[in-house]
Chains A and B, each alone.
Chain A
Amino acid sequence: MADYPTHEHDVLVIGAGGAGLRASIEASAAGVSVGLVCKSLLGKAHTVMAEGGIAAALANVDERDNWMVHFSDTMRGGQYVNNWRMAQLHAQEAPARVRELEAWGAVFDRTPDGKILQRNFGGHRYPRLAHVGDRTGLELIRTLQDHGIHKGINVFMEYTVVRLLKDGDRIAGALAYSRERGRFAVFKAKAVILATGGIGKAYKITSNSWEYTGDGHTLAYDAGAELQDMEFIQFHPTGMIWPLSVQGILVTEGVRGEGGILLNNKGEQFMYNDIPDNYKNQTAKDPEEGWRYCQGDRNAQRPAELLTRDHVARCIMREVKAGRGSPHGGVYLDIAWIKKKIANAPEHIKKKLPSMYHQFKELGNIDITTEPMEVGPTTHYVMGGVKVDADTQMSRVPGLFACGECAVGINGANRLGGNSLSDLLVFGKRAGEHALKYAKEHAAPSLNADAVEAAAKWALEPFDRQGGDEGPYVIQHALQDMMQDLVGIVRKEDEMQRALEGLAKLKERAKKAKVVGNREYNPGWHTALDLHNLLTVSEAITRCSLLRKESRGGHFREDYQNKEAAWAKVNLVTRKGPDGEMQVEQVPIPEMPAELKQIIEEMK
């Protein structure tokens, strides 16, 4: 172990997206030492891609909004299996977190009276998303980055954590390797915060980048923490589908928020054909009313296009299956039509949706101000993640915290658009604050040299494998194809059983995956190591999906199409058993306090 450089900090943050940056800023506020490691360069994490906005009940556009409405919208969207305490804290604290960004230099779009402008989004009763055109994530990450670089945080870019280290039960740090040199480094810390994001690369069609391989989920699971709600994956209804090379790239819901409509090949606005009962009160009767809502008419209800993502994704699938799809297997999303309603529509579209305009122009040769887009569902977000205490964000491993997309709780069975960016800030701050507190209250841990050595040896295995001649990419693609086909938007018992068998075989293949070249900046090696993470989260997704015999939010079973009252009372918790086997347990959801129940009742 003496060979590896050792970096010692009070708090180690793994991940430099919105959650990790916000946590680092908070932890560094009180003068303790903070280390921040990330797989990419600073400012390139997934958060940079977020488009539509950040949800917070600022009530700048509609004064009827407040945290209680936001809370009940979030619970309804999550089909009531959310952690209600997190949903409450999130709704209460999001406005302050957004205003704080402004104090750190963020420049949101403005209302006519000079306040932060808010836009409509699916499942939010009032215009609630603070935004900057359709590049809100860039604004958020850059603001945090530019603020954070003056806080004395030690940033380690292009370092990948391969294992968490423990001292007895408590956390002690992590082993990472630097991409540039391929060398290991030991990070010793009193408290560790995971902020590693999602798992989208387990699927073939996804809006997520190479980074989203479920690292934090797996690191925590292997270290003895629990995962929860892994059956709930969000398939965003509108991804690009054509040309093939851009398949999966996101088309922001902001397009629909600005009045974009979904059409099948018969030109029908099909979303109006199927409106779920619990949203009937809040949905427009017809497209005309929907348009009025987008234009800010306060007496109008939301258009059916802005129903929750799980529902819209399934309606699109149904149109395609029924032969009413577009030429490349999706449906049409049309924003150009608004020229019938407003003067200088093309300018308006370019101003409100500049990166969508750019994206379609450059990648699809389509001008969205004159023609419809072709869209279809894409794997987008994982609701499931590391189980943490709602107030402190600590997992069941003492000193190990998690926040952002890799943690679980606020979203339940389905996340509302815009609730992730606010989640990152609210719970990033909380994780930072409590990790700091933990670090102050505890002495430095000691590291186990054997564990470090074992982890390093494991990570180097792909270089010395004899016999096997398969590269890591082949296995990764096989896994993605299988998860897409067998554990995707529509799920069935026998298919998922086949997926489990497939996973067992892929695990064997992964153990033999071989890499060539040397250790310096070797993406093949990196992919070989990622396989362990992808396989672990895929197994958790599959096992939980098999167990939940109902349909709810992002989890849809063809063989159990209804929502069951009994299943509204439990979460599925995944942990590693004593012999290394994966265990899934049904855990009752704690009773909601009367005052929160009442809020939900009043907002129905």
Chain B
Amino acid sequence: MTATAETQGAQMVTLRIWRGDANGGKFEDYSTPVTHGMVVLDAVHQVQATQATDLAVRWNCKAGKCGSCSAEINGRPALMCMTQLAHVLTDQPIVIEPMQAFPTIKDLVTDVSWNYEVKKRIKPFQPRKPDAPDGTWRMDQVDVDRVQEFRKCIECFLCQDVCHVLRDHHKHEEFIGPRFLVYVAALEMHPLDTADRLEDLKDRDGIGYCNITKCCTKVCPEHITITDNAIIPLKERVVDEYYDPIMRLWRLFVPKRTALPMVSS
């Protein structure tokens, strides 16, 4: 972004950005001009280009597609590239800090490697035999709609950041968090998949820790109905499988997948 006629005599905004690393840090104030339609990430870049060239921030697409620029803006987990300054502007400085559920690396950049490790543990996709002799499958659009909703996830990890089980109770060892419950749901409800992840969900993945506060759904920039469409149906499956003797018998005769009602988002 370059300065144009518009920026001259323009309104200024103060960004209060957390600067520091794993050993600690503090907030610093930067004043920078606001232009029409500017997003928080633009303002941070402007500060970086002119006042603090070593300010660390992750970004790639600047269009809400890659999930790199997650941070907490005035205390709310959000993508910096999709948050218009106009929407968070008050007479107070805009406070920008790194996600709190993960260790800080530097400034706005956090160590999210735990998420990558969690994903590796989850049983991968295992398709049934192809439906057609040419090795392809047939699936109806209505049967993939829900899985497509889950597959919109851009792995911004904002839902992980906001979930109290991780953020406040630090159950990273026992609970995979909403992002990976969505991931498991996408696999479990994939019409072609044949693997069974229910035991893992109950034991290793800690689905029981989720008490359906729906905070994750509220912050998801992709508007995935995490709790209603992914977590609750998974919880029901776990209950059916492990705590309901009639369902257990039923499953002996009927294959694992049955249609579940979909909550529209």
Bound form: Cα–Cα A103–B148 in Å: 16
From B6, B55, B57, B66, residue with most partner A Cβ within 10 Å:
B66
Across the interface, A49 reaches (CB within 8 A) one of B65, B106, B111, B140, namely B65
- Chain B: residues with Cβ within 8 Å of the partner, total of 64
Contacts of A115 in B (CB 8 A): 136, 138
Contacts of B2 in A (CB 8 A): 204, 477, 481
- Chain A: residues with Cβ within 8 Å of the partner, total of 69
Bound form: Cα–Cα A95–B74 in Å: 48
B109 within 8 A of A: yes
From B42, B65, B135, residue with most partner A Cβ within 10 Å:
B65
Contacts of A517 in B (CB 8 A): 53-54
Across the interface, A244 reaches (CB within 8 A) one of B36, B151, B192, namely B36
Q: For A248, give the chain B residue with the smallest CB separation.
A: B62
A296 within 8 A of B: no
Are the CB atoms of A244 and B53 closer together than 8 Å?
Answer: no
Q: 0/1 per residue, A96-110, Cβ < 8 Å to B?
A: 000100111101011
B68 within 8 A of A: yes
Are the CB atoms of A516 and B54 closer together than 8 Å?
Answer: yes
Instruction: Please classify the interface of chain B as helix (H, G, I), strand (E, B), loop, or mixed, using the class held by over half of its residues.
Output: loop
Bound form: Cα–Cα A472–B35 in Å: 23
Are the CB atoms of B59 and A471 closer together than 8 Å?
Answer: no
Are the CB atoms of B141 and A209 closer together than 8 Å?
Answer: no
Residues of chain B from 181 to 218 with CB closer than 8 A to chain A in the complex: 187, 190, 192-193
B95 within 8 A of A: no
A358 within 8 A of B: yes
Across the interface, A523 reaches (CB within 8 A) one of B53, B63, B193, namely B53
User: Interface with B: A23-31, A119-127, A142-150, which one?
Assistant: A142-150
Q: For A137, give the chain B residue with the smallest CB separation.
A: B65
Q: For B48, give the chain A residue with the smallest CB separation.
A: A523
User: Interface with A: B116-124, B160-168, B232-240, B249-257, which one?
Assistant: B116-124
Contacts of A43 in B (CB 8 A): 66-67, 155
Contacts of A249 in B (CB 8 A): 62-63
Q: Kindly provide the distance from the CB of A347 to the nearest chain B CB, expressed in whole angstroms.
A: 12
B243 within 8 A of A: no
A512 within 8 A of B: no
B241 within 8 A of A: no
Contacts of A525 in B (CB 8 A): 54
Contacts of A105 in B (CB 8 A): 124-125, 127, 187, 190, 192-193
Are the CB atoms of B141 and A245 closer together than 8 Å?
Answer: no
**Assuming A242-B37, A363-B39, A521-B105, is B116 touching A42 (CB within 8 A)?**
yes
**Assuming A149-B119, A244-B37, is B49 touching A359 (CB within 8 A)?**
no
Q: 0/1 per residue, B221-251, Cβ < 8 Å to A?
A: 0000000000000000000000000000000
Which B residues lie at the A interface, using CB under 8 A? Answer: 1-2, 4, 6, 21, 35-39, 42, 48-50, 53-68, 82, 84, 105-107, 109, 111-113, 116, 119-120, 124-125, 127, 130, 135-141, 144, 147-148, 151-152, 154-155, 187, 190, 192-193
15 residue pairs of the A-B complex, CB under 8 angstroms, read A40-B66, A49-B61, A49-B66, A99-B135, A103-B135, A109-B141, A114-B139, A115-B136, A146-B125, A180-B105, A359-B63, A481-B2, A517-B53, A520-B105, A524-B48
Which A residues lie at the B interface, using CB under 8 A? Answer: 40-46, 48-49, 99, 102-105, 107, 109-110, 113-116, 132-133, 135, 137-139, 142, 146-147, 149-150, 157, 180, 204, 209-211, 242-247, 249-250, 355, 358-359, 362-365, 471-473, 477, 481, 515-518, 520-525, 527
Question: Knowing that A41-B112, A105-B187, A471-B53 are A-B contacts, what are 7 other residue pairs whose CB atoms are under 8 Å apart, sorted by A's residue number?
Answer: A105-B193, A146-B119, A245-B35, A249-B63, A362-B64, A520-B106, A521-B106
